[in-house]
Amino acid sequence: MRVGILGGGSWGTTVASLVLKNARAILWARDPDTVREINDEHTNRRYLPDVALPAKLVATSDLGEAVSEVDVLVIGIPSQSFRDILHQVRDLIGPEVPIISLTKGLELKTRMRMTQIISEVLPGHPCGVLTGPNLAREIMAGFAAASVLAMEDQSAVKALQALFHSARFRVYTNHDVIGCELGGVLKNIIAIATGIGDGFGAGDNTRAALMTRGLAEITRLGTAMGGEPQTFAGLTGMGDLVATCTSVQSRNRTVGYELGLGKDINQIIAAMYMVAEGVRSAPAVVELADEYAVEMPIATEVCAVVQGNRTARDALRGMLRASIGAESEPN
């Protein structure tokens, strides 16, 4: 089997390295210098410092070379560029080739999930998402991890499960694409919130409260949009939330932490090599909450901060302010 992976960032490079254990893989990156480094030095220092890549990993900046004649296409492109890359590959990819998204974001203009965009731009291609508590550097260092491959086509998901699975990277399957995909999107917002608390030195109790109430928000919106409740208690919900809210490797938590230290959001983003999807997705998430009449007080506060309409200190106070009521209630 030949697999094309689009996206030379930390996660795209990591997934390409995982796939190589089970199939042939070719990695596409926009930057010719990144391609040269991967092919000649077997490193990708900008995104995975101090990590040695498999010597047989091949990279290219030629999209046609990466996409033509592949049996599976995996896409790890930031959410706001996702549609554009699909249009570019539409005439290059073979018919009915499965397409798997690695991207944990929403398209801002349409508020669509990545699998929805795939179905719209490339109808007839089975599509799914690989998602879970997966920190790229830990996986490349050989630490054990688990992920979920979610597809509606259960025959396809079983066939593709073995493509990503290995001794230290356990891959489970799920039919709930909506729930799995939304879990990966929404936890980024909560990670910014917990990062803000950490930046202010708010403590473990505050972090636990934000994560727990954040999971309630994720579940409310996710189920309103068609996800299954049990999905949000699993790897793509609670599991991904724990990893993203607590790890210093988390881009979204880092954004929140820097906000908690008093830094400006534009300065924080300008200093980052990689995209923090929670910053981009926050406005779309709040709009979806309004559309589905779901109360998301934490997400609303985070959105106000990343858009520059509220200070991090005031947002943290707003997140922790609650009326007296039952735990099952939104506030």
- By annotation, the residues acting in catalysis are 187
- The identity of residue 295, as a single letter, is E
DSSP 89-128: HTTTSPTT--EEE------TTT---HHHHHHHHSTTS-EE
Token pair in block for residue 286: 């709040």
Cα separation, 26 vs 47, in Å, equals 18
Residue 2 three-state SS: strand
| Closest of 92, 42, 38 to residue 65, by C-alpha | 92
> DSSP string covering 208-228, please?
HHHHHHHHHHHHHHHHHTT--
Phi/psi for 25 (5° steps) reads -140, 145
Contact 182/113 with Cβ under 8 angstroms?
yes
Strand 127-131 vs strand 145-151: parallel, antiparallel, or unpaired?
antiparallel
State whether the Cα torsion 151-155-158-160 is positive or negative.
Answer: negative
Amino acid of residue 54: P
Q: How many residues can be counted in the chain?
A: 331
